[in-house]
Structure 1
């Protein structure tokens, strides 16, 4: 029976297997290493994408193309939709799906795995740096359970924009190379159209990758996966000859990277939304964008995911959740830390004790920079907390408040309005400025240097939910111009961009009711 017909007049029924490219596509020229396929079971399963009917280009990221050694213009000329939809496989690629488990909302969920993501393989640049190239929404895998293995345009656009927004905020993240669309109907809460995101990252290994092996009691399988991560991404740790010392050094690095990442999120008001252990990267990357959100009005206990009824993953809970998740990760790799179980437990507990200090130090470095403080003083935390208290009382906008402070001078003058106008209680805001200026008296940087430094860490532009929603609605109608425009704005979040000032304004009233869930 023929399938439904899309706007290209092609049957929507999926073909059976993808074809190989003819050898003249730019993606064929990449140096495919395919470490996942080489590792094989129990970590990876060979899995070709499921071809989809009539894929078409939506958006290509020239910057990420350059990151992996390609030219965006060449990709456009060659046509990237067939390959980056999974309909054709690059020569040299060996696609796999990754097996992992995870704790979801604090409960062990068992085997999860790549239910709709297929890694074409990993490539290596001329300088030796490696990247996984993955198609998200490329069809069913052995880990799809009862799901369809597809993604929709709505969620694909959100991940594309969010990952690129964080990248340009200098926050570690997976990257987005391309979006390919199809008119194939996908059922979520309503019928939507399909899309495939090409995701690029140094590695997509997660905490849950090791948890799965631990809960299977497949302890012999822990070391090969750890060694693969260490050798590819931590050569200085790989040089440590004693295995237990090498794994301890690596675990310590994972703890530090996680602390630094969450401090990054807190400093820009970013909420991940679903910090399950299967969504935590061992490289400290922001991974798996579901119901994320950048905070508008400051609320310490803000929850961006309306399915998180208990607020487990609220903004102010993210630092503690990071530690809890690290506890699950360290538990999973205990057999690598020492030969005697009791010794391994003690070593793991001692290592986890370092997290809070690492996080606090990373967080305060970022907050001092946001306030224009080059030196560390004991009362700096109190100054930060007093600002957040005033912001919370008024629901002052997180991003605009800090950006407004960038324009305030050492002495009270007309520029104070850039900051105090964000508050209802102007007197409280002015009193905080008195305390802040008293603290500035201990700094040595001149005003111009301080303000320039603050503008370099306090973004003017973030991916607000309503901006993403507007781009999505236009794209769903076949107009990608707003998606492209918003992407360009987010590439320079610290610049003034006066021609795009409207993107920095407070959300309109209609946007305050926007809610997000785990639906993708």
Structure 2
């Protein structure tokens, strides 16, 4: 029995027509098996509790069949990669299954790792177990932290060999989002002078995902402003939890302001504003401290794609679009300061709050203090200051900062801070432990870790989940193949 019986497939994106995608079936995994499932994501979709017991679910989510109503397709897009125009890209190892009308609103389902598409270029269209586990766990961990993100319903696996740096095994992640449309979708049609298609895509996106923009004097400008504000909110979320995306190309930027495409990501251990989580990023373009500016740059690339849609001279049109993008800067500064105030337990606004937050971050950087643990210990520092002081080399400077903070903080700060500063994030070494077990066909650590990450503000039952990373964690590297 189809576990999606009772849920309607609406497939609005498919109505755009063949300029936007290629219809094709997935290349299924041979002899697939379940690796992991997310109960929270299944609930979001309205799936029955026993959905994983149905053979049809394993088959369809391994690419070995489609349920009635599914319309598998790979979309085309382009984009800037590491700041350079990369030309046509597209869903090279992702396959859109369709869009469900769920209790949480319309949600698109996508298989990542379902085989080659016309946009795979020289790739094999496959995903490996290692990277699939990382994406699955981080998608759900970010959702639990409150960070806007695509979701992950499940992983299926196979013994099928896949060659990366070494021979690995294949897997498929089922990803879920209201839309997987990227900046690069719009860049593609603008760059190729397909203006009718560009207009159709903008109109379609506004109708289904930004209807409030439809009645604006210039809907494209209103849409760009909306995307700029959503992107600012997203990046402030990232910075506040110490998250590094690793590959912020325009084709990896969501039009809905979601965290999209978990590749060489990482949560910082020792705080370093210049931290680069992607081993392939040898110039540090996507370092932690540069993420806000890169997002702003990417919005300018999106604005450039919108220029042909506006009437009048291009220079004047560009100025109106740039004004919409400028909304990002004020919104990011506002959101970032608000999140830092929350992490420090501060209520209300004070002119010295920015300096107070900045000075703590400087202390953390000077001591390479662990990002997550420092803020967690700060949450209890009114009654237990010593664990926090232990994070810093310069105790006198730490004490001076603590005195300033105590003078500013208000009653009830501890409870507020414990609810905003997580005890557990998906550190690379935690993911690595689950990966190594899974490579031996033991998937229990994925399930255990998923449960811990689903309650990130609770102290975990296993203390090491929230402890400083072990020494061997510093040898882990993630790259664009991760």
Which TM-score bucket, shorter chain as reference?
A: over 0.9
1:8 is matched with: none
TM norm structure 2: 0.97
Asked if 1:433 corresponds to 2:402, the answer is yes
CA-CA distance at 1:428 after TM superposition:
2.0
Deviations 1:393-422 (A, max 9, x none): 11000000000011122xxx5x10131122
1:21 is matched with: none
| Equivalent position to 2:21, from 33, 37, 44 | 44
**1:349 & 1:246 partners in 2: Cα distance?**
15
CA-CA distance at 1:78 after TM superposition:
4.4
Q: Structure 2: 5+ residue runs without aligned partners?
A: none
**1:237 & 1:379 partners in 2: Cα distance?**
37
Asked if 1:230 corresponds to 2:206, the answer is yes
**1:72 & 1:276 partners in 2: Cα distance?**
38
1:274 is matched with: 247
Deviations 1:447-492 (A, max 9, x none): xx22111111110100000000010000000001111111100000
**1:75 & 1:223 partners in 2: Cα distance?**
41
Deviations 1:77-118 (A, max 9, x none): 445221101101011111110100010000000000000100
Asked if 1:477 corresponds to 2:440, the answer is yes
1:150 is matched with: 126
CA-CA distance at 1:69 after TM superposition:
1.5
Describe how 1:106-255 pairs up with structure 2 within 5 A.
Answer: 106-125=83-102, 129-238=105-214, 240=215, 244-255=217-228
Describe how 1:436-515 pairs up with structure 2 within 5 A.
Answer: 436-440=405-409, 445-446=410-411, 449-497=412-460, 499-515=461-477
CA-CA distance at 1:363 after TM superposition:
0.3
CA-CA distance at 1:336 after TM superposition:
2.7
| Secondary structure of 1:135 counterpart | strand
2:60 is matched with: 83
1:73 is matched with: 50
1:381 is matched with: 354
Contact persistence 1:337–1:347 (CA under 8 A): no
Describe how 1:275-354 pairs up with structure 2 within 5 A.
Answer: 275-354=248-327
**1:266 & 1:101 partners in 2: Cα distance?**
27
Describe how 1:347-366 pairs up with structure 2 within 5 A.
Answer: 347-366=320-339
**2:31 & 2:210 partners in 1: Cα distance?**
41
Whose RCO is larger (CA < 8 A, sep 6+)?
A: 2
Deviations 1:171-215 (A, max 9, x none): 000000010001001011111000000000010000000000010
| Equivalent position to 2:345, from 369, 372, 375 | 372
Deviations 1:252-283 (A, max 9, x none): 11000000100000001000000000000000
2:387 is matched with: 418
1:12 is matched with: none
Q: How many residues align?
A: 482
Contact persistence 1:28–1:90 (CA under 8 A): no
CA-CA distance at 1:339 after TM superposition:
4.2
Larger Rg: 1
Contact persistence 2:79–2:250 (CA under 8 A): yes
**1:138 & 1:490 partners in 2: Cα distance?**
27
Contact persistence 1:115–1:149 (CA under 8 A): yes
Contact persistence 1:130–1:232 (CA under 8 A): no
CA-CA distance at 1:28 after TM superposition:
4.5
Contact persistence 1:181–1:196 (CA under 8 A): yes
Q: Structure 1: 5+ residue runs without aligned partners?
A: 1-23
**1:91 & 1:50 partners in 2: Cα distance?**
18
**2:238 & 2:354 partners in 1: Cα distance?**
17
